Amino acid sequence: MSILVILIPPRTRLHARSANGTEAESRSQSREFQYVLSDDGFSLDSQGRCAAALLPRATMVVAALADPDVSWHRIVLPRAPAARMRSALQGVLEEAVLDDTADVHLAVAPQAVPGQPTWIAAVNRPWLTRELAALERATVFVDRVVPMSWPDDPPSGHFAEAQADSDAALSTLNLTWSHPDGVATMRLKGGLARALLPSPLPDGVRWSASPGAASSAEKWLGVPIPVMTPSMRGLQATRTTWNLRQFDLAARHRGTRALRDAVRHFMAPSWRPVRIGLAALAALHVAGLNLYAWQQRAELEDRRVAMVNLLRTTYPQVRAVLDAPVQMQRETDALRVAAGRAGDADLEPMLAATALAWPADRPAVESLRFEPGRLTLAAVGWGNQEIEQFRNRLRPAGWQLDNVEGRLIVSRLRPGVSQ
């Protein structure tokens, strides 16, 4: 599954703003985004910087936020329904956040349990909304929003330039210290950074530095530090379980977008064996259906030939065979009539069956009407129980009884019909 990581530039705190407040939005539309593309989420396949509309396509799109843009708060998760959780979090963090709670987007830690302590990530909501909207206008839909750093154990520290194009002096270096008690980003200038770092350092601390900050960071720390570019760090951030797209910023997949995303996932390289298997299964089914249809046609033809042979053997006088069952029934009826025997559709067997099933307490039938295969009797004064009893007596002999508008109709029971 290919992953596209978009490194969201740090939020500008102080900037000129037009009267209608659209300058920041227009600037976000015209600027370029740094990106990383990976086929497996571990190896860096390509990277670069381009406008949002020119970003490469991938199965999953992840936006990574810079360390200063995410603040962290440790609280006891309120016991509130999912629909009211955001309001409950705003009430708990009202005094802890610097901005108005309406302008703060909150995200709950993965697998958080109500009533238990958990971490809450806070991001400026208007800024994050603008960033996501700028990407969506370019048809780049972000599936996840992740932080570059989060409270973690064992701790980790990353050195980076505080400003673009800096000379990596101590006055312009930042240290992001991630530990079980939170995340702190501080300047190396002065003694605050050394005062906040525990002494001695915990075992298993993971250090990293951007290429421009590695040399100065090694002098400050006194140990070799692995170099990690922003692209590598952004790709590493995708392996976290955090996802800041929650509540009203949760990703919504509906309509054509859901269909497009499903097709995109299905066409990913990791699904290639599934696609091959489905194609082979479909081909096997088509071949099997064709073989089954051929067998059915052969069986039907054998039965048709057998019926024609039976007709010609039984009734040699029949020369042209057009419909073997109909012609055989016609010849059989002709022989029955010649022998003077009544058929199922004649009056005699129907009267005999009716007489045997006729209720003992009912008087003789007042009127009747006969049609080939149908005997209609008057049913004046018959109750439902009597009609049902009459029907039950006729059924074992192969006759059915229908009650239509006060008339009882006796006919031969059709195959497959139950009353």
Q: For residue 280, what pLDDT is reported?
A: 94
Domain boundary among 287, 309, 341: 341
162 Rama sector, left if φ>0, alpha if ψ -120 to 50, beta otherwise: alpha
If asked whether residues 62 and 88 sit together in one domain, one would say yes
CATH at 372: 3.30.1360.100
Q: pLDDT at position 166, please? A: 42
Q: Which of residues 266 and 105 earns the better pLDDT score?
A: 105
Last residue of a domain, one of 317, 341, 365: 341
Asked whether residue 282 falls in the same domain as residue 251, the answer is no
Residue 412 is predicted with a pLDDT of 81
Q: Which neighbouring-strand residues pair with 118?
A: 75
Segment 165-178, tens digit of pLDDT: 444 455 578 999 99
pTM, full prediction: 0.59
Q: Are 135 and 284 in a shared domain?
A: no
Query: Does a structural domain hold residue 187?
Result: yes
pLDDT score recorded for residue 13: 65
Cα(363)–Cα(85) distance, integer angstroms: 81
Q: How far apart are CA 340 and CA 346, in angstroms?
A: 12
Whether residues 120 and 170 share a domain: the answer is no
pLDDT 10s digits, 99-139: 777 889 999 999 899 999 999 999 999 999 999 999 999 88
- Would residue 235 count as lying in a domain? no
Q: How many domains does the chain fold into?
A: 4
Indicate whether 362 pLDDT > 90: no
Q: Average pLDDT of 39-45?
A: 87
The DSSP secondary structure of 4-56, one letter per residue, reads EEEEPPPPPSS----TTS-HHHHHHHHSEEEEEEESSSSS--EEEEEEGGGPP
Please report whether residue 259 resides in a domain.
yes
Element housing 233 (H / E): helix 230-237
| Residue at 304 is within a domain | yes
User: What is the pLDDT, as a whole number, of residue 409?
Assistant: 87
Confirm whether 256 is domain-assigned: yes
Q: Are residues 284 and 167 in the same domain?
A: no
pLDDT tens figures, 385-417? 888 888 888 888 888 888 887 788 888 877 655
27 and 143 inside one domain: yes
Q: How confident is the model at residue 37 (pLDDT cuts 50, 70, 90)?
A: very high
Q: What is the pLDDT of residue 110?
A: 92
Are 74 and 133 members of one domain? yes
Residue 253 has pLDDT above 80, yes or no: no
Residues 115 and 72 in one domain: yes
pLDDT value at position 168? 47
Domain around 386: 347-412
User: 276 and 259: one domain?
Assistant: no
Considering the domain architecture, whether residues 215 and 251 belong to the same structural domain is answered as no
Q: Which amino acid is at 8?
A: I
Q: Which of 10-19, 88-97, 207-216, 320-329 has the lowest mean pLDDT?
A: 10-19
Please tell me the predicted confidence (pLDDT) of residue 139.
86
364 and 377 inside one domain? yes
Domain boundary among 320, 341, 362: 341
Quick check: is 403 in a domain? Answer: yes
Q: Is residue 287 part of a domain?
A: yes
| Confidence at 419, pLDDT banded by 50, 70, 90 | low
- 307 and 174 together in one domain: no
Residue 175 domain-assigned (yes or no): yes
- Residue 183's Cβ-count burial label (10 Å; 0-12, 13-18, 19+) is buried
Residue 191 phi/psi, 5-degree rounding, is -105, 5
% of the chain exceeding 70 in pLDDT: 88
Dig out the tokens for 417 from the structure. 């019909």
